[in-house]
Structure 1
Amino acid sequence: MTGNEDVLRLIIIEESQNDAEAIANILRNAGHVVRYHYADSLEATAEGLEQQLPDLIILAQAQEAVTMNGLRELLDQHCPETPVIFIGDTAEETQIIAALETGAADLVTYDQPDHLRLVVAREQANLLMRRELQHFRICHEESEKRCRSLLDSSRDAIAYVHDGMHIYANQSYLEMFGFDDLEEIEGHPIMDMVAPDDTTRFKEFLRNYNKQEQKVDNLEVQCISVPRGNFKAVMEFCQASIEGEVCTQIVIRDQASGDPELAQKLQFLSKQDILTGLYNRQYFLEEVELAASDAQAGSAESYLLYVLLDNFKGVKDTVGLVGSDIVIKDIADLIRDKLGEQGLAARFGDNSFTLLLRQGDLNAAQALAEALRHAIEEHIFDIEGRTLTITSSIGISPVTENVPDAHEAISRADLACEVARSAGGNRVHLHNPVTDEQLGREREQQWKQAIIDALEQNRFSLMYQPIVSLQGDPAERYEILLRMRDGDGEEVPPGQFLPVARQTGQIVDIDRWVIGEAVTRLAERRREGHDTIFFVKLSGPTLEDPELPLWINEQLKNAHLPGSAMVFEIAEKEAADHLKHTKAFTKSMESIHCKTSLEHFGGGPNSFQLLKHLAVNFLKIDGAYIHNLASDENNQAMVRSILDMAASMQKECIAEFVEDASSLTVLFQLGIPFIQGYFLQEPHPGMDYDFTEESI
């Protein structure tokens, strides 16, 4: 039925409204919530159909204004599947047969209310099944279209075979075997693709596979191709259907091509920041960790530079996201030019960079920092005819035997950079263990108090970023983002207060505030009739709280919310660092029907291994693989492999940081269920939107 399944929507065609009300009362006494439109003519019936499509129509035989033929013509224009029940004084066998022959669902009598009740229940069930069938047919057609689009865009050679004959092949398959179009290969035997030496073995394999006696679903053979000659390949088989016809899907992978090179490319990609071409944060931390280990072992010291662009938020506000990306890329080019072969550089944050000089000396590090600071200050950025300049603050910290690990090394360089920024920016500062750490403690204490004040004075607020279904799911989904205002009412970016909150342990209190506020807002949203789902981020320290699942359950119960309305997100790195607690938390959430998600999936070195331990429902694919997706085949290959793996494990994927229509098109062709990012600027009423890439 349409709408609320507890409501029965009728058109009752009777001589008088009192008779119609009597019929409605019979159904109300049977437990139905009845909403009916009374009609005493064909025109009044048409009026009722215009207002709302009914679940069924009850037509009194005694009245003469509406005939079954006239009613059927009217229904054919609006809702031909709507059943019509005749009601009369008698229901002899001949009368029932005559009613059925006119197209009525049944004939009932006024004096048999139980019969009416049962017929209505039956027709309700039948109507629901017909509408569900129609829905599934539409979904099936869309799925077939999406599948065909995915097949046509796949780099893998894929064919569908029935009784040994090709009925479909994608473009990669046609190119592999030298066919110009699909018509050439339709009806062509698959046996012709196999070299003569392997045909006997191939026939035996197919015979056993078709009898379902074959346990192995792949076969190594020599294939034969006009453009390529003989080549070794692996054929992968699985049962499938295409346009309703049962067949066998065959994927052919050339053993001699692609795999080692692709693996090498993917390995390089895993180390790279896509926007700038510099190393990414994860790889840089690994290199700093090695430098710290070398220093502890007595090798030469290294030097770490932390570069922060001054007032980058103002740049973003002025030139927008695309323009700020141009600034970031230009800065990366300046860093590459000044660094040369002295060391390695990474994009460490949104507007921060790090450089590592292995086995350098202090004079070289300071000279490099000054040269880089001067180059940034003097550079004129040209953004679509608009020019601007920017400065930077640079902190330097030696990586000595006293530095225990990479995070401490970065922390010291970051602190030195903060000293430079606090002094007015556009300067270089060498880390001083005494004065800098004192400043760091003072700064941390100030932020700690600011967070306490924000919690007590309700200066935190939530923002919402939409997560959109590409497969027609009507539910509205939002990721929750956090913002804080200072005492003057100015917004404080999360990147300024959240790192301190993690260090001081206040992140646990903040996470609880976010959950509580999200539950309140979600309950309001659902009371307004919206089918809303919130994605809420959790930090690693919060996951260590054994009472958290019970507390979440209480919050949901008090707000009368189902667990399925909440999805808890955990960054992949946080999950790996707190694996034991994350595993326990995901199991607890499953027991109360809440779902869980791994954020930035694919960004770490052991992403797929992590899934052996965590029963999460969603994988949010790392934004590095979504950037330039339309033009980067390596990114497409990585996204495809994640989607294939997720499908095999019955998990759904979300593409984060979707910023352009081209990437959206590729993602749709790949069949990804959900997308999120800057591209989706389509607000709904009552929601405070945020389309930045900053997160809680």
Structure 2
Amino acid sequence: MTNAESSGRVYVLSTHTALMESLCPRLQSHGIDVHTFSDVSTLIPATSEVAPEVIVLDLALIPGDELLKTVCQQIAESTRRRPSLIGLAAAQEHGEETLARRLAARRAGLVSYVARPVSVRQLASRILALCGSLESSRYHILLAVEDPNLGRRLAPILAAVGMTTLIVSDPMKLLVRLLAFKPNLLLMDMDFSQVSGVELTAIIRDDDQFHGLPILFLADEIDPIRQLWALRAGGDGFIPKSAGREVLVAAIEQQLRLSRWLQDRLMLMNRRETARGFLPRAVFISYLERLLHTWTPGSERQGLLLLDLDSSQRLLQRLGHGGVERLLRELEQSLGRHLTVNEAATRLDDFRYAILTRRDDAEKLQALADQLHDQVHGLAAREPASVRPLTLSIGVASFDPPPADLQSLMSRAERAVQSASEAGGDRVHVWSPVTTESTAVMTEAVVSRLVKTALAQDGLRMLFQPILPLDSHTEGLYEAQIRLRTLSGDELSPADFLAVAARAALMPSIDRWVLQRTWQTVVAQTTSGQPPRLLLHQNLATLMASDWLNWLRQQQKQIAPLQSRTVLEFQFAEIRRRHREAAVLFGRLAEQGIELCAANVTGSEAEAHELARLGVKLAKLTIAVGRSTDQTYLVNSIQTLRLHGVAVIVPGIDSPDDLRRVWMCRPEYIQGHYLQLPSPDLNFDFQTLIQ
């Protein structure tokens, strides 16, 4: 099996031929690449060359607790990526020795222990779980397709990986078949001659027995409005009818292939909201991002409303969590009644909601916000007199002028709702550009002037996005991301102003501001324990200035503990262009204990070799490589860099499809808006990422 086909690598130390003959086919059917070894002397070098996800050790070949501890230590020292270790008992156990042997194995470094006689099914299940894969044979898939030929094409594909399927061609029999077959997932046509898939989904979701059943639609081309209808009705995603085995199986296995932490984050995708027009947060954000990518300015009037609950903590103290939740459910029902079929809402956090609206003009957009505000007063009037009325601060943001990205759109609504709250709450404020200059028509002089003003008057904003490790033994880090506030209250992304800043010779000032502001934020927000690892963008030209190292030494009095926690990120194109200077600079940074990262790397052999020579141990791939539909290309890029001792970050995880595709390739780190949006706070809990 090639690396391109592999969704995991497993090494097995065993001479048990019968065991391997039964185990290998089970694992290989899930894309697991299995290698067997007969002795430790060949296992350790192989691990050092290419580290697997899991190593299975037959303890009969490693006699004694001390030798087992030594072998586990050698494995850990042979690779930066610590594989999960499973031990197969050397012999059948009896009495008190059962716990003693397992305790010794655990203390040596094993994460799992399988007793004799070894159950191949149990062992395969544990390996698959540690690889982030799925034992598909447990799952029943119902195929609701009007064309029997389509069902006959898809069923063998799923059966080949152990899934049990049932084909239903008559949609009027679907409910009966669901009750009898009890599927784990429904794969359904978007349209039937008698009824639509959206109608069927709404009916299925109305039945408590199928409230959490994942529903995927088979459809090749769907316009954004119909996508929204399907999601609002309770759908969980879409698969092309022409999908081959890899895409089809991967889409179905997607959630269970992930770690428990990622399953928790995806749980809302499978929990249907009861209020009309409400979507789970992840689905709403993903749809909004897709809409921003495809929306044509002037095509229709779009708006985003943010609704913040005023005096939320006081209300919580009065009513308790249960009372507040009941009140908010009533609020959600009320908000939903004001939405058209082409609009959607979500609960962003405990006391904040977002609504995506489509209205004919700005006046109707504000009228909707006013209606929602008045409706809340109607709810508050029914509360006991002793309870302070429920009120909302509402911020309204339009898509005109076109926002640069999701963060820019959110910042407009954030500014409006903050203005409403600071004015006393219980009111509606509308974001409005102070100037008609949009990012599309701003001259270079205007942008340059904005940057200079921002540096002088603290007009830059720092956000932090977590970069998540796939290995629970690896520490995560935060990437600092800069934004530029405009006169209109909008926020420009780095792509909109950094090139202009560079031509105006402003990058040294920006780079130093990034370092200082990030370190100050970490000091302010880290109350105890070790500060987080930080990934900070810099330019070679800034650091090669004659006074830069002296400037850094001046900062050391305040940031000494942070220096070793800082990873400086440079554009690979700049590293290649100024290779000699980079080699000297990187050597000096290494002496200071500062790690290095190269950005926008494709993963070619030449790039990997050059990074290794420069001592760069971390690389972020380009968005294009990370989103490549050719999975072989992505796997090869990751493997090439890894073989040269360079860990890989894959950015751009902005949808469940991105997550599923990249997860199978097993990079060291993943990053994207679907995992976590950038935030001014450093409070992300990396410890919840468990493999």
Shorter-chain TM range is 0.3 to 0.5
Normalised TM-score (structure 1): 0.39
Normalised TM-score (structure 2): 0.39
Asked which structure has the greater CA Rg, the reply is 1
Bigger relative contact order, structure 1 or 2 (CA pairs below 8 A, ≥6 apart): 2
